[in-house]
Amino acid sequence: MSNIKQQLASGVFYTAVAKYTGVLVSIVITGILSRLLTAEEYGTIIPVVVLINFFTIFGDIGIGPAIIQNKDLSGREINSLFSFTILMGIVLSGLFFCGSWLIARVYESDILVVLCQLLSISLFFSCANVVTNALLYKAKLFKYLAIRSLIAQVVAGLISIVAAYCGAGIYALVIQSILSCVFLFLVSYIKNPLKLCFKDFEWSALKKIRHFSSYQFLFDILNYFSVNLDKLLISRFIGASELGYYDKSYKLMQMPMQNIPFVITPVMHPIFCEMQDNLSKMCTYYTKVVRFLAFVGFPLSILLFFSGEELIYIIFGKQWTASIPAFKILVLSVGFQIILSTSGSIFQSAGVTKFLFLSGVLSTITIVIATMVGLLLFGSIEAISFFLVCAFIINFFQTYIIMYCILFRVGLIIFIKNLLSPLLLTLILGLVLFFVALLTVQFNDIVSLFIKGCVALLIAFIYIQFTGEYDIIQKMRELRCMFLKR
């Protein structure tokens, strides 16, 4: 048990250092680019990026998680899987290159031809990196992964800023995407120099992972379609500028989810899969993770709601005012999504990707209905945001009904009980921030955000420390000792 805690703590530590350093880097890079590029330029490239990432799923077909899960793959079989993803990368990038004219015609924008053709390069390297990246996670090389990701983010971001400053416009975003994918592949390949073996291809490799990867693949398709459907439809029916504003709101809302649970989720699968024969133990550990994330996610959600205007203005600038209403609606789902984003690792670790697929089907149906209602009946990014929040909450509960009632077979009550105290803290925090927001309305944006943040941290600290939920002071001492030892 202590070994699991040490592995989890070590993995989270290194991932967290890079992630939260990356948060600062990302905010700076995004802030600068947002002042150099327009909402229309951002909105124009978004459908291409969405489609590129969708094609990448076909290059992966669930191979990455399956490699982490399977303990019986030989070196030759790993090389065969690597060869397969390289071949898929060539085919898919070629198809995307050739389909650029059709995509440009659908979205009635000639510039999409060139954008699609250039970004087909990033599609190839994303597919090529599937196996090498999975091997790094399987080997639990979290420190290496953390440093690699941070360097890629910094290098690609700085070059894209220089390009935008020199007048590259929308192509600055293209440069950022391509450089990031190429860098990640090269660094991963240097660590795991695999061989191509098209002549001696081992079909047994695909057979070994077929059951696991097939459901993972189907889930990835459904999940990606449901998450990105709103962007494709907004671009086609409302316009590039509105999509630019919506995407800024959505991405800013996603930032906590990309930098809080995703510090834990890459570590969870390699470690929790060792408990796949002891679901009771897995349930116990995961419930602790859920409780911790609830204490982070729900209070953060209400803080973001009352700080939406300041955040938009400070990070993106006054020209992005139209993003504020959608952002304040979307952040109400942050607490639910932070917890929900870890659920996939549990289904993967338990080896029941069919449950992951079932959850994905239900989630997709809910999100598609919500998106269509917001788009067709109201036709605004605010309406789409509201109905998506409703869908996220519904999906939150259906996922954990499947997990706790069907997989763990312990019932949902134990799960809900662990959410009550975090929700009470959130309610208290919301009432206080309501009055703080009234008092700081005339303040400078930075000062107002600082005051709200300090008040939120103080209330959260007092509540958590003095109710005995967590001994924060002791935890800080332990982290200090860990940091000094490193």
Are 452 and 458 spatial neighbours (Cβ–Cβ below 8 Å)? no
Rg (CA), the chain: 22
Q: What residues make up the domain containing 295?
A: 238-486
Q: Are residues 344 and 256 in the same domain?
A: yes
Dig out the tokens for 402 from the structure.
């499947």
Please state whether 317 falls in left (phi above 0), alpha (psi between -120 and 50) or beta.
Answer: left
Dig out the tokens for 62 from the structure.
């669930």
pLDDT in tens, 378-400: 889 999 999 999 999 999 999 99
Q: What is the pLDDT of residue 120?
A: 92
Nearest to residue 246, comparing CAs of 371, 335, 96? 371
For residue 233, being part of any structural domain is answered with no
Residue 454 pLDDT > 80, yes or no?
A: yes
Residue 321: count other Cβ atoms within 10 Å of its Cβ.
13
pLDDT in tens, 64-97: 777 777 677 777 888 888 888 899 889 999 999 9
Q: What is the pLDDT of residue 335?
A: 93
Q: Are residues 207 and 263 in the same domain?
A: no
User: What DSSP state is assigned to residue 1?
Assistant: -
Dig out the tokens for 173 from the structure.
């975003």
Residue 2 pLDDT > 60, yes or no?
A: no
**For 232, how many CA atoms within 13 A lie in the half-sphere containing its CB?**
18
Q: What is the pLDDT of residue 326?
A: 95
Measure the CA–CA gap between 326 and 425, rounded to whole angstroms: 25
pLDDT in tens, 135-181: 887 777 767 777 787 888 888 889 999 998 888 888 988 898 899 88
Q: What is the pLDDT of residue 4?
A: 52
Determine phi and psi for 350, rounding to 5 degrees. Answer: -80, -5
More confident residue, 145 or 363: 363
User: 122-141 burial, b if ≥16 CB within 10 A, otherwise e?
Assistant: bbbbbbbbbbbbbbbbbebb
Q: Are residues 206 and 320 in the same domain?
A: no
Q: What is the pLDDT of residue 312?
A: 93
For residue 280, being part of any structural domain is answered with yes
* CA of residue 40 relative to chain centroid, distance: 24
For residue 343, being part of any structural domain is answered with yes
pLDDT in tens, 208-244: 766 666 666 777 777 777 777 888 788 778 887 888 8
Q: Are residues 442 and 351 in the same domain?
A: yes
Q: What is the pLDDT of residue 11?
A: 52
Which residue blocks in 37-170 are alpha helix, DSSP H? 39-60, 63-69, 75-98, 100-106, 111-138, 142-165
For residue 142, being part of any structural domain is answered with yes
Are 41 and 193 spatial neighbours (Cβ–Cβ below 8 Å)? no
Helix (H, G, I), strand (E, B) or coil at 110: coil
pLDDT in tens, 273-287: 778 778 888 898 899
* Start-to-end C-alpha separation, the chain: 22
Q: Are residues 33 and 166 in the same domain?
A: yes
Q: What is the dihedral of CA 14, 340, 178, 58, to 10 degrees?
A: 120
Number of domains in the chain: 2
What is the percent of the chain with per-residue pLDDT over 90, rounded to a whole number? Answer: 34
For residue 381, being part of any structural domain is answered with yes
